[in-house]
Chains A and B, each alone.
Chain A
Amino acid sequence: MAGVKGMNEVILTVRRRTQLTAIAWLRWRLFVNTLRTTRGQLELLSRILVSLAFAILGLGGAFGMGVLAYVVLSQGKPQMLAVFLWIILLFWQAFPIMAAAFASSPDSSDLLRFPLSYGSYFLVRLAYGAFDPASAIGGLWSFGILVGVSIAKPALLPWALLVLMAFAAFNLLLMQMIFAWVERWLAQRRTREIMGVLFVLLMLSFQLIGPLTGHFGKRARPEVQRFVEVLAPAQGILPPGLAADAIVHGIYPQWPVALSSLALLFAFVMVIGYGLHVRLLAQYHGENLSEAVAASALAKDRQLRLGWNLPGFAAPVATVLEKEIRYLLRSGPMLLTLIMPIFMLLVFRFGAMNSARHSAGFLTRTPNLAFPVAAAYTLLMLTNLAYNSFGGDAGGIQFFYASPVSFREIVLAKNLTHAGILTVETLVAWIAVASLYGRPALDITTATLAGLLFAAPVNFAVGNLLSIYSPKKLDYSKFGRQRASQMTVLVSLALQFVVVGVGVSAFWMARYFGNSWIATLLLLVLAGISLSIYGIILNRVDRLALERRETLVAELSRT
């Protein structure tokens, strides 16, 4: 029996080695195969450049950390080591999230179809993590601290090595645990969208840090100091503080304290390791992350729901409008795009409050222009929708073609949706401008609305043509870059130049003659012309959509 058991162990070990070699080979082949295309070769070039930057960051940082560690130890301030270790931890954990930004990463769970043992799977995950740039840089920085500490206190080398290795293990496991749980949340559409919105809001909120600290920083200094005083002891019971504490007490030496700090650090390593183990074990056992499981908890809702009704419009127009609104309300990225104008007003306002008096913000100096600028920006953001209005329908475009509804009605419904959004956004922008820059004057408000009456139909008309002539499939749930077609970008730019040029000219003429109402009048005349152009194009949409049906169906139904 013992012989058979021993043989089994040998077979298992050999199999594990074979599997791990095969996985390493797979990663290598995947990399080599990307070089077959020009894009892949360019990717390699950029990867080399990025690797060089990482190397400089890693080695330079390691040198800096080493010098700093040496200096603080030489000057008898070893407690400062905690600051460096916190920097390492924050970088190690935050950098992969920033760098990945929801891009695809190698999915190790794909390997589970093979007879891989749990141990091998765990190892593979750790290996993926260890080769991450954040781990390499974090590891180099930790090594720098080790060198600095060892030069200052040579006898401390073995102890510092042990502590810093535990600290590095903690970071590696924590990074993998965060990724494993983020993967879990990203596996379902609903949680993925929530995560996406939170991520983008986090990125946007960074824009406000500068202005806000500039604005409140001077006044809140005592409060900030009190906050730091409370924070300092609290950080001591967290891994960077514990690692620093273990090294500090190894210097004096107070071994019971140093050992207890290290023991606590190991406890953190175990807890985080367990958190990772729970996640990976669930993956290993083939957890079911399908939406069916998440949705099955929802209560049954059997009551009849009537579709929308839009007085004055045919039923299909109301139906498509309802569909468009539902799509929009379920699209985090699109909603985010639409709140951008308000957000930018906030950034400009706080930025101006923070800037030196001689360079106050443009809108603060000319608050009268805040509403026209906000309205123009709102319209610009709306072009994302209006210039590719079938993009989100994807395969649904076939339904439109198969249904007994004219494209004129479908496009009209889409444009009504866009107009509705523009109306609401303009109203919100007006309120935001009134709160941040003071209430816009009546003549400016009217001229701006007249400007929108001119600009919106012309944008919708061109948008309808572009939606038919250069459609591009869009995933409304996806964050990140989804490029419009080059033709759309080009035409959009040209049109915005013309529209903005006309608007500015109208305002300039009004200023020249000293009567703002001239701008309103001019823009209303232009609005009449642009509405006629819109009408003409709308009436030709059916024919154009029929002529372009193959391109539209092929482009939008593409999987």
Chain B
Amino acid sequence: MGTAPNISTQGLTRRFGDFTAVDGIDLRVSPGQFFGFLGPNGAGKSTTIKMLTGLLAPTSGRIEILGLDLTAHPIEVKRQIGVVPEGMALFGRLTGSEFLNFAGRMYGLDRETAAKRTAELLDFMQLADQPKKLVTDYSHGMQKKLAMAAAVIHGPKVLFLDEPFEGVDAIAAGTLKAMLQGMIARGATIFLTSHVLEIVERLCSHVAIIHQGRLVAHGSLEELRAGVEGQTPTGSGDGSGDGTIPSGEKMTLEQIFLHTVGGSRRTDQELSWLG
């Protein structure tokens, strides 16, 4: 418990004019944690991840990555982190191999290591079949895999992933998950946002939920579960928004999430004409 966090924020705030997208967030992510950062659409997830990776300046607050102040030591921090941002940040008119080589060298690898890791990553991500294909011609899923490869080519200690599994096929998703779990086993920290709660539940040891710019839950899955179960009566529903949780069952992350952000699923009763 006494370990210094790999990611920590204090009072992290970002305003766009009158609108506060992120409102005084305090986060602590310890080494070796697979951290899921959840929230409904427009809650402030991407804004937070952009601030944590130096893509966006905070209005106020402090960010420390690996014990270094991001504002004061941006280059030192960036050298040790990997990022797959929302827009993937690819150079469309390079081939996959050229892009990875480029990424490796930008992160300070020597020419030989960059070339060797490029080949290994292309093979691992199953992108080696079409070496002359430009990134702009890749499918969405292939671009995601390439962005992931570029983010890990320098062996980062902290990895930030914004929706990494979106558009990725099941086989590739399995490969990526295995890679990420391997990184965690070797002591890396992964900060991930995703709308696919099953994936987060399966992969992440710790979760934070952001809603309307504020952190509304933060802890291990068990801690979150205990917190929600303590406040909610048991009932006969499926726990998807009727205000109860099914008796005798362990709450899923989806149920916790819906309880925490106060959402409920719409039913298809109104669209009875649908076959």
Contacts and interface: CB of A to CB of B under 8 A. Distances in A.
Interface of A: 189, 290-292, 295-296, 298, 300-302, 304-307, 309, 315-316, 318-320, 322-323, 326-327, 330-331, 392-399, 401-406, 476-477, 546, 549-550, 553, 557, 559
A116 B112 CA distance: 56
Interface string B120-150: 0000000011111110110100000000001
Given A331-B93, A476-B93, A405 B106 contact: yes
A327 B98 CA distance: 11
Given A298-B130, A298-B131, A401 B137 contact: no
B78 A403 contact: yes
Interface string B167-197: 0000000000000000000000000000000
Contact of B91 (A296, A298, A315, A323): A323
Contact of A404 (B78, B92, B101, B116): B78
A306 B111 contact: yes
Nearest to B50: A553
A467 to B, nearest CB: 16
B242 interface: no
Interface in B64-106: 75-79, 81, 83, 85, 87-94, 97-98, 101-103, 105-106
A406 B105 CA distance: 13
B119 interface: yes
A398 B102 CA distance: 14
Main secondary structure of the interface of A (DSSP, over half): helix
A305 B96 CA distance: 12
A553 B106 CA distance: 19
A395 B78 contact: no
B136 A189 contact: yes
A402 B88 contact: no
Given A301-B131, A318-B105, A331-B93, 16 more contacts: A189-B136, A295-B132, A300-B129, A305-B115, A306-B112, A315-B105, A316-B105, A322-B102, A393-B91, A395-B88, A399-B106, A399-B150, A401-B54, A402-B54, A404-B79, A557-B87
What are the 9 tightest A-B residue pairs by CB atom distance, in nearest-first order? A291-B137, A398-B89, A404-B79, A404-B78, A399-B89, A396-B91, A319-B105, A304-B115, A295-B133
B108 interface: yes
B107 interface: yes
Contacts of A553: 55-56
Nearest to B92: A394
Nearest to A318: B105
A404 B108 contact: yes
Residue of B57, B79, B90, B102 most packed against chain A (CB within 10 A):
B102
A445 B226 CA distance: 81
Interface residues of B, number: 49
Q: In the complex, which of the residues B81, B105, B111, B131 has the most CB atoms of chain A within 10 Å of its own CB atom?
A: B105
B114 interface: yes
B9 interface: no
Contacts of B97: 305
A326 B94 contact: yes
B53 interface: yes
B56 A404 contact: no
A309 B111 CA distance: 8
B158 to A, nearest CB: 12
A326 B87 CA distance: 22
A307 B75 CA distance: 22
A406 B74 CA distance: 10
B132 A298 contact: yes
Contacts of A315: 105, 108, 110-111
Contacts of A546: 57
B93 A549 contact: no
Contact of B128 (A300, A401, A549): A300
Nearest to A315: B105
Given A396-B90, A401-B54, A549-B57, A307 B101 contact: yes
Contacts of A330: 93, 134
B55 A398 contact: yes
Contacts of B76: 404
Contact of B105 (A307, A394, A559): A307
Contacts of B79: 404
B119 A302 contact: yes
Nearest to B81: A402
Contacts of A316: 105-106
A262 to B, nearest CB: 48
B57 A550 contact: yes
A393 B116 CA distance: 25
25 contacts: A189-B137, A290-B139, A291-B133, A292-B139, A295-B132, A298-B132, A300-B129, A302-B128, A304-B116, A305-B118, A306-B112, A307-B102, A307-B111, A316-B105, A323-B91, A330-B134, A392-B93, A396-B89, A398-B89, A399-B90, A402-B78, A403-B78, A404-B76, A404-B79, A559-B87
